[in-house]
């Protein structure tokens, strides 16, 4: 399977493994995938086989963002590897970066099950996980035993039991514990599944939170630090927040998290009322916000685009709208492990077609 064309690898996956995973409860499917990866670590040459089947390398795809060198612009979004345990495996599966978390200061079980729901006709998920994770101390115990392979981002959020007034110290606890093991950080203030979290997207609360974290770290962020916003803001609200970024000390923005607007699920009149929607129905809205951010920031800070990316064409759409990097989550769950490979092959051919030597040359180039 190592030298097969990517379309054949995709076909083989869809005929064998994919039906099994999609017939399982979503969390059980994720646990099975976790165990399969874990078992592979004990098999001779497993990592070599994984890398050779799923990785695509090209000098055109190498990129530098916020002073970090990425082997390619396709990353795995937070939420897939909440604990950091999968990082050694996922780093060999074609991604240019792996973002672990969301990590909170205190361990928490998350919301009651069931808490993730598939809507396959719309290629979407609703999740109300609630930042289930072992807490900063638990994640520290995991990551400090790992070798650094691909770029590793660490996404941090607020513990559910911590009040908004004490959020700064809660974020700082996670950051201080984990900063040595992060190439970049993401401050998550946009999940719909932690009560009150999105209140930090109000400019006055945002400035107080980010300023408090920055001051608690000695007046600056030791590694490039991004902030992740929700897609449910008006354009005026987003621009107001974006205009705060250059003076905040932050290195960039991640757009977007999940949406609470369930009307985007066109084929499902009755859906879960709680939680956020991710996947294909989010694609247009997240791309629109990336475009607004690019126009507002005018190249001052980089943008990571995420939301509905399930193909090379969708990835290119985000980049042309202004995303310096992209991230996968729901598309990866539906399309499977060869999605990064297929996207990278498509992007490399696109760059070659337009005579571009790097992804950065086409960022924001809507006319291509």
What residues act catalytically? 191
Task: Confirm if 199 and 205 have CB atoms less than 8 A apart.
Answer: yes
3-state secondary structure of 315: helix
**188 is annotated as contributing to ligand binding:** yes
**257 is annotated as contributing to ligand binding:** yes
The secondary structure of residue 133, as a DSSP letter, is: B
**130 is annotated as contributing to ligand binding:** yes
**263 is annotated as contributing to ligand binding:** no
**300 is annotated as contributing to ligand binding:** no
**155 is annotated as contributing to ligand binding:** yes
Q: 196: alpha, beta or left, given left = phi > 0 and alpha = psi -120 to 50?
A: left
The C-alpha R_g of the chain, in whole angstroms, comes to 19
**330 is annotated as contributing to ligand binding:** yes
Q: How many CB atoms lie within 10 A of CB 195?
A: 11
**256 is annotated as contributing to ligand binding:** yes
As a whole number of angstroms, the distance between CA 259 and CA 280 comes to 12
H-helix or E-strand spanning residue 332: helix 330-335
As a whole number of angstroms, the distance between CA 91 and CA 59 comes to 18
Specify which residues 276 forms β-bridges with.
Answer: 127
**279 is annotated as contributing to ligand binding:** yes
**127 is annotated as contributing to ligand binding:** yes
**308 is annotated as contributing to ligand binding:** yes
Tokens 């990278």 identify what position? 344
Binding positions are: 78-82, 102, 127-131, 155, 188, 193, 228, 256-258, 279, 308, 329-330
Binding positions for substrate are: 82, 127-131, 188, 193, 257-258
Binding positions for FMN are: 78-82, 102, 155, 188, 228, 256, 279, 308, 329-330
């Amino acid at each position: 399977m190592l030298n097969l064309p990517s379309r054949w690898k995709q076909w083989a996956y869809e005929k064998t493994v994919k039906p099994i995973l999609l017939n399982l409860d979503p969390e059980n499917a994720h646990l099975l995938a976790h165990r399969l990866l874990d078992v592979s670590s004990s098999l001779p040459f497993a990592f070599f086989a994984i890398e050779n089947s799923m990785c695509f390398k090209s000098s055109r795809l190498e990129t530098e963002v916020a002073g970090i060198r990425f082997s390619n612009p396709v990353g795995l979004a937070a939420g897939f590897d909440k604990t950091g345990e999968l990082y050694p495996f996922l780093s060999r599966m074609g991604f240019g970066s792996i973002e672990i978390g969301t990590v909170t200061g205190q361990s928490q079980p998350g919301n009651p099950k069931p808490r993730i729901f598939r809507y396959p006709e719309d290629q979407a998920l609703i999740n109300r996980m609630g930042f289930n994770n072992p807490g900063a101390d638990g994640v520290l115990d995991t990551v400090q035993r790992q070798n650094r392979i691909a770029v590793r981002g660490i996404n941090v959020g607020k513990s559910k039991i911590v009040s908004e007034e004490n959020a700064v110290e809660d974020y700082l606890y996670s950051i201080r514990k984990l900063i040595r093991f992060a190439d970049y950080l993401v401050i998550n203030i946009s999940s719909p599944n932690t009560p009150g979290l999105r209140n930090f997207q109000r400019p006055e609360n945002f400035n107080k939170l980010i300023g408090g974290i920055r001051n608690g770290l000695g007046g600056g962020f030791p590694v490039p630090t991004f902030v992740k916003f929700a897609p449910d803001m008006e354009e005026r609200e987003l621009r107001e927040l974006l205009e705060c970024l250059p003076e905040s000390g932050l290195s960039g923005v991640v757009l977007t998290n999940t949406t609470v607007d369930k009307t985007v699920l066109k084929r499902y009149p009755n859906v879960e009322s709680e939680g956020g929607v991710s996947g294909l129905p989010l694609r247009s809205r997240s791309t629109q916000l990336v475009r607004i951010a690019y126009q507002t920031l005018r190249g001052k800070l980089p943008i990571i685009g995420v939301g509905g990316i399930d193909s090379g064409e969708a990835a290119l759409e985000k980049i042309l709208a202004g995303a310096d990097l992209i991230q996968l989550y729901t598309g990866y769950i539906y399309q499977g492990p060869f999605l990064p490979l297929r996207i990278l092959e498509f992007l490399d051919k696109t760059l070659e077609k337009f005579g571009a030597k790097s992804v950065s040359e086409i960022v924001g180039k809507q006319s291509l």
